[in-house]
Chain A
Amino acid sequence: MKKFNKSTAVILSILMFVVFAIGFVFSFVPIQFSKGKFVSLSKTLNISTDLVGGLYGEYDITTENASQKDIVSSISLIRSVFEEDGYKNVNVYAVGNKKVRIELSFPNGDETFATSYSKLKNVGAGAFSLSNVNPSSSSSSSSSTTTPITLTGADYVKKVKVSTNNDAKYISIIFNEEGEKLYEEICATASSSTIYLILGDYSQDIPISSTVDDYSELTLQGIDWENMIALEQKIKLGCTKIELDGTNANVNTMSATLSAGEAASSSVEKSFYSSTTFVVSFSALLIVLALMLAIFAIKFGFFAVVVFVSMMFSTYLYLFIVWLVPSFELGLSVIVSLVIGSSLIYSYVYKFVQNVKDEYNQGKSLQAALESSYKKSILGEVITNAILFFSSLILMALSFSELSSVAVSFAILSAISLFTNLCVVPFLVKIGISFKGLDRKLFLLPKRKNLDELVFDAENAKEEN
């Protein structure tokens, strides 16, 4: 760990300051451009419903005597549809066997209230089925000779997805084995080569191609992109075992988990600050970080500045990476992971500085102490952070709901921790020790005694003995 010469250190310090300032502006300050407004990285964070509330949809269960098993499988399906759509922390639950509630966080970034509302409105569009008989004519005309065959989504559909082939986008409805046979039967018995897609009260004619030979899936083409996404979601939601009443659904905003003294607010901005859960948990995070910084200042003096700067860089990095993950949501459990992850970074820095101090006190020069401490800590840090990173990845892959956001957050934090301790902190220390007089102050190291003073001390000790 060689120090820079003074002029290089000055240039690097200025550069660091510039990067620090730019990082701060992009992370926390909204910027107005000629083409639009960049609201800052911190503002683009999605905040979970448990902290500030969000949007909700409440739907009555219209299926009579729905079993708990069917309710659970249906609400799990609804959750997975919303999760696939990017709402990773969606909260879906049933209240008895009477209604289903879906809770989404306040929309952020490109999402608007209208998009989220329309997604909530897609729920309860009706059960999905395919039939060989036109549903409107089959009930009224008695002249129809075709025996009606119905393929229900809940029993025969395996998967629904939007696929692309040579720039053409279409919806694929993939059937299970029994569904495949039934679909073939529907196609064979359909009059005038038309089958009917039914979604609640809505039905649509689908012409059957005469060359069709694969009955494992049905493709729906010729729909514009926006309607295709909505139709795909409606079909998926139409495959639930229970039916929900979408027409009388209650879709609105809701406040966070409120205490007695809080007032719900129509303004999203205000609701952030009126939620005690959000204010207290976020303040607690800041207090914890400040407290740890204070410990560094007391124990190692000027080194607290290095820790502060490296923590700010870690924050910028965290916000930037999280910004790249649009489905990421900041909930109470993610704040817990932030508390633990950031304190872990502090603990590694503490280990490094304490080692430097110990080595120096053993008689090594500051340069030698720094190098030896860095070499000693490097392997341990790589191993521990790699373990944390890969364990978080495993948890991320196999977790559900909020827990996957927590695993993502912790994986990011362990990667940042490794980067901070291997690159940022040593780099800042190198700049620090390049300035004369700052090297000892940086670690609150005692001034080393010269030879005469050591001889004097030894003689005194001898006399005392």
Chain B
Amino acid sequence: MKKLPKKYPLLVSLIVSCVLIIGSIFVLAFCGINLNSSLGGGSQFEVVISDKADQKTCVQGIKTALKSSGIVYDSFTVEDNSSAGEGIDDYSQRKIVVNIQATNVSDEKELEIRTAISEKLEISIDKISSIENIISSIKSKDILLFGLGIGIIAVCLFIFGFFRYNVFGGLSFIIAILHNLILFLSLVILTRIPLGLVSLAGISILTLVMVACLVSVYEKNKVESEMHLAEKETPSSRLIRVEEKAVIPYAFVAMAVLVFSILLVFVPVNNVLFSALSLIIALVVTAYTTLIIAPAVYGYFMDIRQTNINATLSRNDTVNKVIKKKIAKAKKPLK
């Protein structure tokens, strides 16, 4: 009965993870995943404005018109009135390129948006281009290669963990990496935040930091287990004790990412705002995997292993005697 509270968080957290992942699969099946324009999501259209028009008012007008049509914008880019290149003359007009999150906008909706913008900016509807889906140059092959990269890292870490700690150490690395990435994607799908390159970069680096943190914990655990061989402490409780100290320095990383993401929220551009939100999700998921899932899985397996070793030893009297002598010897200097 004493062991129950220690296993309880692992069981609960695994159930929570599974529920989130299954939920996200349903959402993915019915609504799909929201992609940022950097990964080929969303649509784009252009609004031609006069060179003399106030840009600030125009952008604000487009924002209001989109809001009234129930469309979430992603970003605005203004084509400059520059003549820095070869043979480029001054234009009497400039264009505002608008990226929106919606895809496959129907003709009726498109007309509604264009009319709303033309009325707001008091320009002809012809000055607003049709809304077209963005097609990214990033192919599925690129994404697969990136996934392969993560897979290779996971396999290398398994080999490292296997030789440095034991097979469970290696397994916990693989489980942690997979859990972190899958749970992050699940939460991004569930929250409908657009997935972009910044989000992918954030979760990839945080996963690597998580691995570094786990290595610190396991290294400390290894030293502690060698130092306190004779003590009757279960591997999982030792791991929890060690983890409390070993993860403190990594609070710097968590704090840095959190403060940075909160400050990014002040950028009045939606795609930056969504990147900041996805970074916060990545941070929460990584902290959850680092603090709860990975050490708990490793500790759980190590407990089973320890129980099996104890059971084997108790059936062998000759070995027991030798072990007992060794334990007694190890305890002496402690006294």
Contacts and interface: CB of A to CB of B under 8 A. Distances in A.
A268 B271 CA distance: 23
A401 B133 CA distance: 20
Given A72-B137, A380-B219, A259 B268 contact: yes
Contacts of A343: 252-253, 255-257
B256 A337 contact: no
Interface residues of A, number: 93
B138 A398 contact: no
Given A266-B82, A392-B208, A394-B152, A287 B259 contact: yes
B146 A340 contact: no
Contact of A336 (B132, B149, B150, B205): B205
A391 B208 contact: yes
Nearest to B58: A260
A26 interface: no
A447 to B, nearest CB: 26
Nearest to A79: B137
Interface in B89-137: 94, 97, 130, 132-137
Secondary structure at chain A's binding surface: helix, strand, loop or mixed?
Answer: helix
A95 B80 contact: no
A280 B219 contact: no
A390 to B, nearest CB: 7
Contacts of A384: 212, 215-216
Contacts of A68: 135
B75 interface: yes
Interface string A327-366: 0000011101101111110111011001000000000000
Contacts, number: 269
Max chain B CB contacts within 10 Å: which of A76, A78, A285, A384? A384
B197 interface: yes
A53 B77 contact: yes
Nearest to B147: A398
A445 interface: no
Given A391-B211, A402-B197, A406-B205, A93 B260 contact: no
A336 B198 contact: yes
Contacts of B76: 257-259
B191 interface: no
A173 B204 CA distance: 38
A260 B76 CA distance: 9
Contacts of B75: 257
A23 B333 CA distance: 53
Interface in A49-105: 50, 53, 55-56, 68, 71-73, 75-76, 78-79, 91-96, 98
14 contacts: A75-B136, A95-B134, A95-B135, A98-B132, A254-B77, A258-B55, A264-B80, A276-B267, A277-B272, A284-B264, A342-B256, A344-B253, A392-B208, A395-B153
Interface of B: 37-38, 40, 44, 55-56, 59-60, 63, 75-86, 88, 94, 97, 130, 132-139, 142-143, 145-146, 148-150, 152-153, 156-157, 160, 164, 197-198, 200-202, 204-206, 208-209, 211-212, 215-216, 219-220, 248-253, 255-257, 259-260, 263-264, 266-269, 271-272, 275, 279
Interface of A: 50, 53, 55-56, 68, 71-73, 75-76, 78-79, 91-96, 98, 113-114, 117-118, 121, 251-266, 268, 271, 276-277, 280-281, 283-285, 287-288, 291-292, 295, 332-334, 336-337, 339-344, 346-348, 350-351, 354, 379-380, 383-385, 387-388, 390-392, 394-395, 397-403, 406-407, 410
